[in-house]
Amino acid sequence: MSRNEQLFERAQRHIPGGVNSPVRAFGAVGGTPRFFTRGEGAYVWDADGKRYIDYVGSWGPLILGHAHPAVIDAVERAARNGLSFGAPTEAEIDLADLLCELLPSMQQLRLVSSGTEATMSAIRLARGFTGRNKLIKFEGCYHGHADSLLVKAGSGLLTFGNPSSAGVPAAVAADTIVLSYNDVAALEQAFAEQGNDIAAIIVEPVAGNMNLIEASPEFIAAMRKLTQDHGALLIYDEVMTGFRVGMQCAQGLHGITPDLTCLGKVVGGGMPLAAFGGRADVMAKLAPLGPVYQAGTLSGNPVAVAAGLATLNAIRNPGFFDTLSTNTRYLTDGLRALATSSGIPFSAQAVGGMFGIYFSANAPQNYQQAMQSDREHFNRFFHAMLDQGIYLAPSAFEAGFVSAAHTESDLKATIAAAQSVFSVS
């Protein structure tokens, strides 16, 4: 029995399913999850000492790669001064100032500890600001595990074929309107019928939890216009895309100014940190200024803030995203060309440092199309690549991530591994 197998067997005694987040369990792809002992740059090593080229990157935060020296140094310096205070620190102001400088739509923000906290708080704020209850989300988009959002969600819920969750009261879900991603007509109809009751739209502007799916320009424009026309708020959930697809996030690529934005992953540099923010008049409704309550004991944790500041300062280097985008496209173009030459139905696309691969002839545009991809073929591909030291997300419904630490030789090695896999598929 391998060390990974031993650890997984032990983990299942006291941790449900042996993991602390469901998609880590390899439930969709089968087999034993890898227990990692360390990471450096583009690589991770498992408990059996095997090295992998990593395209998960802690599910997106590690845009600089594992154990980046500047981030580690910042964390060590902050930790020596204390792990937490439950009181304000100057570094929190520094991070808030930097985020508002980098993202013009953010006039004010509040730091929290997870993407789920950011989205649930933004929705509560939108409801408190508008005095309305209805929320629009899109099928296959995942916005964390708050009750009202676990309705036809993506991420692990797709992985396990469960579009909802037990334990969510019907009354809680009743105010969530679920529409198809990229469906402008359905969106227009929803506002025509219930526009006066809709508090907000929440959307992944580049969906990454039903694999990578881009929002069409028409869909983006319709969301912005309809919310403005009906007095609702537009919430861009950029927990995944924030500073991952560009220096001004997905909203910069789209030329859109959302009313509220949720950030996470990259802004914490691998530590538990997230944020939500936007228009000053909306944010003024938050306690202690206004009636919408939100709090967090570890919000603005100084160690996490230090990691976030170090990461954001590093990605501000000129040309950072040009290089990252070029490398990500190199990977997806290479994989697509190999699959095509082997006669395998396959498509791939990339946005910034995010990518999606699909065992289908065309890249999906919504949840229904994503569900039609060949999951069994993906599972075989995943394990064959894993055997060759390539670590991809263990699900056909999760985006992948390239970091600044991935070198040309890493990308070529990945494509070479895929060539041998496709040749026997």
- Residues carrying an active site annotation: 142, 237, 265
Residues 6+ apart with CB under 8 A from 82: 302
- Look up residue 138 and give its two tokens: 């899109």
- Cβ-in-10-Å burial (0-12, 13-18, 19+) of 348 comes to buried
Give the three-state DSSP class for 351.
strand
Give the three-state DSSP class for 413.
helix
Contact 233, 199 (CB under 8 A): yes
Rounded-to-integer distance, Cα 365 and Cα 218, Å: 13
Asked if the bond preceding 22 is cis, omega within 30° of 0, the reply is: no
Helix boundaries (H) for 133-216: 156-159, 170-173, 184-194
Nearest alpha-carbon partner for 235 in 121, 108, 133: 121
φ and ψ at 286, to 5 degrees? -80, 145
| 3-class DSSP string for 79-115 | HHCCCCCCCCCHHHHHHHHHHHHHCCCCCEEEEECCH
Rounded-to-integer distance, Cα 113 and Cα 260, Å: 17
Q: Are strands 354-358 and 390-391 parallel, antiparallel or unpaired?
A: unpaired
Contact 55, 402 (CB under 8 A): yes
Nearest alpha-carbon partner for 91 in 77, 102, 105, 103: 77
Helix boundaries (H) for 195-291: 217-230, 249-254, 280-283
End-to-end CA gap in the chain = 28
Rounded-to-integer distance, Cα 392 and Cα 383, Å: 9
Helices 302-315 and 320-341 cross at an angle (nearest 10°) of 80
Contact 413, 53 (CB under 8 A): yes
Nearest alpha-carbon partner for 353 in 325, 377, 334: 325
